[in-house]
Amino acid sequence: MNLFDVYPLYNVTPVSAKGIKVIDDKGQEYLDFYGGHAVISIGHSHPHYVRRIKEQLDQISFYSNAIHNPLQGELAEKLVQQSNCNDYNLFLCNSGAEANENALKLASFHNNKSRVIAFKNGFHGRTSAAVAVTDNETINAPINKQQKVTFLEFNDIKSLTSEIEKGDVCAVILEAIQGVGGLDEPNTEYYQALDVLCKDNNVILIADEVQSGYGRTGKFFGFQHHNIKPDIITIAKGMGNGFPVGGVLIQEKIKASYGLLGTTFGGNHLACAASLAVLEVLEQEDLVRNATKMHSYFIKKAATIPQIKKVKGRGLMLGLQFDFEVGELRKKLIYNQYIFTGGAKDKTLLRILPALNITTAQIDLFFDALNAELS
C-alpha cells in the first residue's frame, strides 16, 4: 500500500533530535528554526520531558475518560498558575482542529445560534467546522461549505458591529496572531471593541491559541497583549512539544453536562505527562521571558540584513518579509545551510518558530546562514 500522497516533502529523513538540532539518517545535523509548524516549544527530546513520559509509560499510558485521572486535574492547575486564566474549565482533546471544533460546537450549544464570524487569511484546522471557518477555499469540500461563516477584515469595527448586530452570530473565532496567514493581528482598539460587542450580544469569543499560546509570543497567551477576556481559548501545538494533545479552556459561565463533549483519547495519561513536563520546563527555565528577550535580539540581527523589509510577529512567532517569494530561499537554507524554516500563505514571508529556549548564539548561526544565501 502507498501512502496517501498529500504532503510535498523535503528530501530529509530525521532519525533523532536534541534541543534545536535535528539529525538525519546520514548523520547530517540541521538547526530547527520551525519546530515542525510551531510544535517544539521546549526543544526536541528535552531530558525532563523524556524522563516524565518514560516514567508515565512504566505506570499507565492510557485509560478512557470513564475513570478518574488525577493528572488531568494537575494539568488544569498548572495551566491556571502559568496563564492566570483562573475562571475557566478545561476539556482535553488531541489536536488543534479538534480543540476548535469543540469550541465552535460549545458556542453553538451555549447560545443556540449558528453563524460564525472568522477572519480573512485565518487558519483553524481541517475538520468540519474548523475548516469551514478557515479562509481557504481549496481545503473546504462541499460538505464543509454548508456552514454559515462570514469572513471579515481586521480593524474594521463598523463591519464587525453590523454583522454581530444581525443577532444570529454564535461565535467569533480568531488567532491571536495569524500563523499560516502571515503573522498579522488586529490592533488593541479592535480587540477590545470585539470583546465588548461579543459580551453585549451573547456571542462567544474564541481565541485560537493553538499556535500563539504557551508563551510563544512572550506572554502565555497571545490575546494577553491586548487586555481582553475570551470566552473560550483553544490550545495544542506547543502544549505537548510533539505529543499529540489539545485543549479547550472554557469560561465558567458555559455549563458542562454529561455527554455534551467527549473523546476516547483526549487527556490520556501519557498526553497529560507530556503536557505537564512542558509546563514544568517553561516555568523552571523561564522560557516565556526568554521568548521576549530573544525577540529583541532577533530584531537587532534582522536590522543588519538589507534584504529584510520588515520583521512581523511577537516573541518567537516571527516572520521575515522579503520583496521576493521565499520558496527557493527555504530550499537553499535546508540543503546548503541545513536550517529548517517555514513558509506562509503570503509567499514573501519566511516564518521562524524556534523552541522557546533558543540562545543568542543559535540566532547568530541562523543570520550567518541567511546572509550567506542572500549575498
Ligand X SMILES: Cc1ncc(COP(=O)(O)O)c(C=O)c1O
CA distance 85 to 107: 19
Is 211 a binding residue for ligand X by CB under 6 A? The answer is yes
Q: Which of 236, 276, 281, 370 binds ligand X (CB under 6 A)?
A: 236
* Binds ligand X by CB under 6 A, chosen from 123, 154, 223, 366: 123
Pick between residue 56 and residue 100 the one whose CB is nearest to ligand X: 100
- Copy the grid coordinates of residue 109: 450549544
Q: Site residues for ligand X, window 276-305 (CB under 6 A)? A: none
Closest CA to 172 of 184, 186, 98: 186
- Residue 317 binding ligand X, by CB under 6 A: no
Complex with ligand X: residue 179 or 313, whichever CB lies closer: 179
Q: Is 352 in the site for ligand X (CB under 6 A)?
A: no
Identified binder of ligand X from the candidate list 97, 131, 171, 352, rule CB under 6 A: 97
The alpha carbons of the chain give a radius of gyration, in whole angstroms, of: 20
- The residues in 160-189 that bind ligand X, with binding defined as CB under 6 A, are 175, 179-180
Query: Given the complex with ligand X, which of 37 and 345 has the nearer CB atom?
Result: 37
- Assess contact for 136 and 284: CB atoms under 8 A: no
105 binds ligand X (CB under 6 A): no
Return all residues near 320 (Cβ < 8 A) that are at least 6 apart. 302, 308, 310, 311, 312, 349, 350, 352
Asked if 135 interacts with ligand X (CB under 6 A), we say no
Q: What number of chain residues touch ligand X (CB under 6 A)?
A: 15
- Grid coordinates given for 315: 516573541
- Beta-bridged to residue 24, according to DSSP, are 14
* Calpha distance 108→100 (Å, rounded): 12
> 100 or 341, CB closer to ligand X?
100
- Which set of grid coordinates corresponds to residue 227? 487586555
Among 35, 125, 342, 354, binds ligand X (CB under 6 A): 125
Contact 232, 250 (CB under 8 A): yes
Interface with ligand X by CB under 6 A: which residues? 37, 95-97, 100, 123-125, 175, 179-180, 208, 210-211, 236
